[in-house]
Amino acid sequence: MAKKQLVDLVNRLKKSGIKISFTKPKSDYLLHINQAGKISSSTN
């Protein structure tokens, strides 16, 4: 279930033009998620 949610999230982010690489360190990945959240909240 969690994996499907993650895949859905990544697909939605890709549609938004945000690319996520799972080869990066976890902290870097979380940083991208935080930036993506700030970008979407500031545009809405």
Q: Look up the pTM and report it.
A: 0.36
**How much is the pLDDT for 19?**
63
Name the residue among 31, 30, 37 with its Cα closest to residue 13. Answer: 37
The tally of domains found in the chain comes to: 1
Name the residue among 8, 31, 35 with its Cα closest to residue 43. Answer: 35
User: What secondary structure letter does DSSP report for 2?
Assistant: H
Write the pLDDT tens digit of every residue in 16-30: 776 665 655 555 666
* Domain membership of residue 9 as a residue range: 1-40
